[in-house]
Every structure is written in structure tokens, then in C-alpha cells.
Structure 1
Amino acid sequence: MSDPFRHVTGDDPLGVDLRGGVVAIGNFDGVHRGHQAVLQRALDEARQQDVPALVLTFEPHPRKVFRPDVPLFILTPPAMKAAVLAEMGFAAMVEQPFTREFASHTAESFVTDVLEGRLGISHAVTGFDFHFGKNRQGGPAFLMESGERHGFGVTLVDAFRDEGAEVVSSSRIRGLLEAGDAAQAAGLLGYRFTVQAKVRGGQKLGRTLGFPTANMVMPPDFALREGIYAVRFRRQDGSLHDGVASFGRRPTVDSDGSPLLETYVFDFSEELYGEACQVSFFSYLRGEEKFGGLDALVAQMKRDEAEARAMLSGVKPLSELDARIAF
């Protein structure tokens, strides 16, 4: 039986058993098909060398450090990113704290302090355009030359293009999700877009209408299009349930204006409060509407349920990763 996946944060020690591994380096927000091309090369190299496969990522996202006033829709916050990487087969995700002070270090110190000192890597795998160190002074050529000096291998992976010959990027996926196109976003991700959060108490209005919901507060910068979605809901114990979710901002419910995801889980009546659960988005059904009364609202919710049940009954996994996350 393989060792459990480890999520190493802050200055926590790596663990002797993880040193000497193959490390994929990058921010990997979304862990999309382009990222997966890099990540799979790392997994293959680690398997060939019979050493651990790790991911070195940066938290918070560098753009949040350098442009804190510009909202950034993070596709995979740390916990969700770790969950996806664990499903891919990595041994650990190491979060390097990213600060302006860290960004001021030289490229050479990144190699000696992080790659060599903290991780003791045997091989680095990264995208062809990865830059690091003060003023982005470290690039692919520097990394390869550093590997020769410090005794680790380097693999650079070209940009991954989709079936239409367009580069797959996190920004493209953000745009699709902001438009509510969960299906096309899934095509670029290689799996259904999934969020993870703890279920919290709500006003219980859905329960009085016969549609009790599991409520999850999303980060303020979460920019998925508001509306109704066909979803799958995974409990902490791994059990999976079909459902329909309403996503929107509820200023009367949340004083901070954070967006709220309310999922009606089909054929389910257990308590979920405090449980960390996942919601995978399969299809956008409709936008939010204002109804003339509760009867009209309930009638529409029944139509939403029927449409979501029909849609989810015929779906198939997009990939092995999708099968592990949303099936």
C-alpha cells in the first residue's frame, strides 16, 4: 500500500523519505491539461528512477502578491490542488510561501536554498517558459546550466495545445467559467471543474420548501457565472451523489458579500454541517430568476431537478483523472 499524500506548507520539513525526488515546478492553478503534460512527465521520470514524485508550487499566487488590488479567480486553491495532484499519483505537494522578500532572492539562491537545500531534487520538470528569481533572471537555460552544476536533471515541456491548436491556459478556463460554460472548461481541464469547502448552516429556507441544501461559502474572488448547475457532490467519506446547485451572491445572508453555493443533493437526508465536501460542475442549466411566489419557485426547482437528473444519467468520464474526481 502506498504512503498517504502529503501537503507540505510553510517551513514544515519535507521528510527524509521525500528528498531526492523528481519535482514538477510551477503554480499549476487549475491543474489543466497543459499542466498535466508537465506533471505526467514528472511522474514518468520518477517512476523510471524509482524515486518520489513531488510538486513544488507557490502560495499565494504571485499575481496576488504583485497586483493585490486586481481580483484573481483562483481555480484550484491549495486544498483542491492537493486533492487533484494526489489523484494523479504524486507523493506530495510542497507549498513555497511566496512573498516580495522571497521574490527578491536571486535565481541561484532559489536553486541552492529550495531545489538543492530543502528538496534535494534529483530531477526538475517544468514548462518551457518558467522563470524565477529576482526580476525573473532565472530561465530555462539557467535552470539547465544549474542542473549540470548541482547534479540534477532538467526536463522542459513545450506548451500544450488543444484540438483547435490553441494553448491551454488558466486564463482561458477562467473566462469560460465566468461565462458559465462548465462543459467547455472541463474539456480544457481534462476533468469537471470542482470546488472544495466545508458545509455551513444556512437559513434553512430550502428545507421548508422540500429542497434542503448543503451551503458552501466560496472565496470573494470566485467568479463562476451565477446560476443553476447540474453537479455531483462528494462527501468526506468518498461517497458521491448527483444534485443541482445554485450559485450566487447573497448579501442578505453573507455580510461580507462572499458568493454562496447551495447544493440540493438528490435522495439524501443526512446532516453535513462542518464536513469538507466537493462539488463538481457538469452543466449550466439557467440563470437566476426572481419568481412571483414560492409556488412558482418550487415548480421551477422541480424542473431543474428533472433536467439535472436526466443530464447526469448519461455522462461519461473525460479521462482517468475525471473518473477519479467526479465519478
Structure 2
Amino acid sequence: MDQTFLRVSGEEALPEHLRGGVVAIGNFDGIHRGHQAVLERALEEARRRKVPALVLTFDPHPRKVFQPDVPLFVLTPPAVKAELIEALGFAAVVERPFTREFAALSADDFVTSILDERLGISHAVTGFDFHFGKNRQGGPAFLMAAGERHGFGVTLVDAFRDEGAEIVSSSRIRALLAEGEAAEAAGLLGYRYTVEAEVVGGAKLGRTLGFPTANMRLSAEAGLKEGIYAVRFRRADGTLHDGVASFGRRPTVDDNGAPLLETFVFDFTGDLYGEIARVSFFGYLRGEVKFEGLDPLVAQMKRDEAEARALLSSVRPLSELDRAFAF
């Protein structure tokens, strides 16, 4: 059997060797510890049945379709989500385009055309509150009854609660990141929050100050608190470097600059332009400050570097997923 992880468009035919698998169904924005409880249950069921384990997810996020004028901070764009799913051990992710036409499918049509005919599943695993189909008419009881008719099993996974007995959710994580609480968000994610983007050219001011940066433009909807962070930077070739990053509008040198993630990569010289790189956030150091000139700015940047190096020297992986992404 081909063991290569696949990203399959929801409108493509599923490769034959993946049919008959166990599928975890959900949007899974963040792949946080609650999602991981669902995904691990699917992996266990697939191992028990000796069949492939798949994830069926949707893009864009349904809220972006139904409320397009309301900004939504998406924690894991499709490429990052797929990498997390692969790292967990799945054979494939099926990325179903979410459109108003797709949302208008009846719950019965969703089961028949997607789960049965297109994917040919043997078992479905979802969260206890999963709803689907036009007007969310399909719920857990409907899915279990449909499974009996179509010949597949269904497992429902209860809400996952953290050590404080609170339900882990994507909205909680978005709120923490908006406050700069990177470490607390990592506790709910089970790994350090990570972004991926192309390294682009900048004004090169950092280079003249002795702090050359790798600049990455994130989504305009990124809800990360502006400020300075201790980070790890992973290059396209997989090599990993500690660093310190500024996310914001560079108030000292450019009052009107677009938000940008600028990472000073420690112990690295070379050209990163054009690379698709990842940055993992370990700790929030301080907010942005407008300095009276470049000398005070450079002095603070040296303090930021020292603080980031100290913080990163003592970190340990939170999980195997964290190890795969940030260690």
C-alpha cells in the first residue's frame, strides 16, 4: 500500500487504496487538543480495522462563507492543517471546498454522495456536537441512523476539557493569541502556535542595524497580538533556528506600515527570500514601543535577543506534535 500522505480535493476521486477507511469529520481549525481527541480516536479505529485513516475537512471555514464581512482569525490555513494531520499519522486529508451550494446539500445527500459514494467509508468519527447538511439538519443521531442504512459505523467523541475543566475550543485559543498569551495558547493546542508564509523583501533597515530579518506577510485577519516574541524559525529544508520576531507596524520607522512578521534568525547568514518558512511562537516578550531614534531601538533589540535566547534555551516539547513542528 502506498504510504505517501495525500491532500485530496473534495471534488477529486479518492484513490482506490484509500476507500473503505475510517474518516474523522470536522473543520478542525487549530488541530487543538479537543480536535486531537477526535483524531486519535479515528486513528485507533483505523488501526483496529486495519484500514486507512482519513480526515474530511472544509475550506474556507463555514463562517467565512455565511458571514463574509466578519473577520475570522483562521488558526490553521489548509497547508498547515495538512502538515499537522500528516504528523499525527493519517494517510490523507480530503479538503472539501465549502460553498453555499455545498452547504445547501441535505443531510441525507451529504451522507450518500460524500461519505458513501465518494469516500466509501467503513466508519466515521466526529465530535459530539457535529452537525451537517442544509440548515444543520444532520446531527449525531441522524448520522448514526444513516450509518446503519449505509453500512458504516459511527463514533462520537465527548467534548475535551483542559486541566481546569473548561472545554478546549478554537475561540478560546484565538482570544489567548489576541492577548499575546502564546504559552497559554500552546497549552490548549498541545503544540506551539505556528504560521507559514513566504519570506519576502523588506526595507532592509534591520540589516543596517545588525539585525537582518526574514519578513513574512500573514493574513490580514491574523489576530495575533502585535509585539515581540521568542520564536523558532524552520526553513524550507527543515533546519531549525531560534530567533526573536516582531509582529506589527514598526512604529519607530514606519507609522503607516502594513502588519508584518519580521524574524531575526539567530546564528544564520544567507538568503532566505522566496522560501516558504514556518515560525513557531514560544513566548511574548513585550509590546511595540516607539523609540526616540535608532540607538535606543538597537539597545532594546539586543535585550530582546538575550531574553529570547534565555527563554528558548530551556523549552521542552509539549507533545510529539510539538516536537515535529518546533523541535
Q: Please classify the TM superposition score into its range, dividing by the shorter chain length.
A: over 0.9
CA RMSD of aligned residues (A): 1.7
Residue 250 (structure 1) shift: 6.0
Q: Deviations over 1:141-186 (max 9, x none)?
A: 0100111110111000000000000000000000000000000000
Task: Please give the residue correspondences for 1:1-327 in structure 2 after superposition, counting only pairs within 5 Å.
Answer: 3-249=3-249, 259-327=259-327
Cα distance between partner residues in 2 of 1:312 and 1:208? 26
Secondary structure at the counterpart of residue 200 of structure 2? coil
Cα distance between partner residues in 2 of 1:2 and 1:120? 18
Residue 253 (structure 1) shift: 7.6
Question: Does the Cα contact within 8 Å between 1:219 and 1:259 map onto a contact in 2?
Answer: no
Question: Does the Cα contact within 8 Å between 1:14 and 1:119 map onto a contact in 2?
Answer: yes
Distance 1:250 1:112, change over 3 A: farther
Residue 17 (structure 1) shift: 1.3
Identity, in percent, stands at 75
Residue 27 (structure 1) shift: 0.3
Distance 1:2 1:295, change over 3 A: farther
Gaps of 5+ in 2: none
Which 10-residue stretch deviates more, 10-19 or 167-176? 10-19
How many equivalent pairs are there? 326
Cα distance between partner residues in 2 of 1:51 and 1:274? 39
Q: Deviations over 1:86-117 (max 9, x none)?
A: 11111111111111111111000000111011
Aligned partner letter, 1:21 = G
Secondary structure at the counterpart of residue 172 of structure 1? helix
Cα distance between partner residues in 2 of 1:91 and 1:214? 33
Cα distance between partner residues in 1 of 2:254 and 2:301? 20
Q: Which runs of 4+ in 1 moved over 3 A?
A: 249-255
Cα distance between partner residues in 1 of 2:201 and 2:254? 11
Residue 232 (structure 1) shift: 0.3
Question: Does the Cα contact within 8 Å between 1:222 and 1:259 map onto a contact in 2?
Answer: no
Cα distance between partner residues in 1 of 2:166 and 2:315? 26
Question: Does the Cα contact within 8 Å between 1:24 and 1:38 map onto a contact in 2?
Answer: yes
Q: TM-score, normalised by structure 2?
A: 0.97
Cα distance between partner residues in 2 of 1:48 and 1:89? 14
Q: TM-score, normalised by structure 1?
A: 0.97
Aligned partner letter, 1:266 = F
Residue 320 (structure 1) shift: 1.4
Cα distance between partner residues in 2 of 1:83 and 1:254? 36
Gaps of 5+ in 1: none
